[in-house]
């Protein structure tokens, strides 16, 4: 079975791309068009049944932005299971808080750049 961008998720991915959160829209401004050190990122890319906020295929890197909903136990458990599943595919997940996109964007971009360099 297809690992990336399964057909049955296409319309859902498209809908998500059309309704980015404010934090996703802001970070996307800095990731799109190969702006970040020459790496191409995709938004709302799917791997298996997971739809990822941002994905860099060349680095096998996922960027996830988490809001308040991610501070509940059940969501934290689901995030951990998802991260573990992606790690088993040799895909690294970096998670950041939505608020940090607006309060500390440079630190987020620096953390992503550091991962890409290593």
Please report the DSSP string for 36-61 in residue order: BTTB--EEEEEETTEEEEEEETTTTE
- Burial degree of 110 (CB within 10 A; 0-12, 13-18, 19+): exposed
CB contact at 8 A, 58 and 87 = no
Cα–Cα distance, 19 to 17 (Å, whole number): 6
Domains in the chain with CATH codes: 7-117 (3.40.960.10)
Q: Which single residue is written with the structure tokens 């088993």?
A: 88
Q: What pTM was estimated for this model as a whole?
A: 0.90
Tell me the pLDDT tens digit for each residue of 70-82: 456 667 788 899 9
**pLDDT confidence of residue 79:** 85
In a structure prediction context, what are the per-residue pLDDT tens digits for the chain, which is 118 residues long?
Answer: 678 989 989 998 999 888 899 999 999 999 999 999 999 999 999 999 999 999 999 999 999 998 765 456 667 788 899 999 999 999 999 999 999 999 999 999 999 999 999 8
**pLDDT confidence of residue 107:** 98
Mean pLDDT over the full length of the chain: 91
């Amino acid at each position: 079975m297809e690992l990336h961008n399964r057909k049955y998720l296409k319309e859902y991915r498209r809908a998500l791309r059309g309704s980015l959160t404010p934090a996703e829209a802001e970070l996307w401004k800095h990731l799109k068009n190969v702006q970040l050190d020459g790496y191409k990122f995709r938004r709302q890319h799917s791997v298996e049944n997971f739809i990822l906020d941002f994905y860099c295929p060349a680095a096998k890197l996922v960027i996830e932005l988490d809001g308040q909903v991610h501070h509940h136990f059940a969501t934290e458990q689901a995030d951990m299971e998802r991260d573990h599943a992606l790690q088993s595919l040799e895909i690294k997940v970096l998670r950041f808080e939505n608020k940090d996109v607006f309060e500390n964007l440079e630190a987020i971009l620096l953390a992503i750049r550091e991962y890409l360099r290593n």
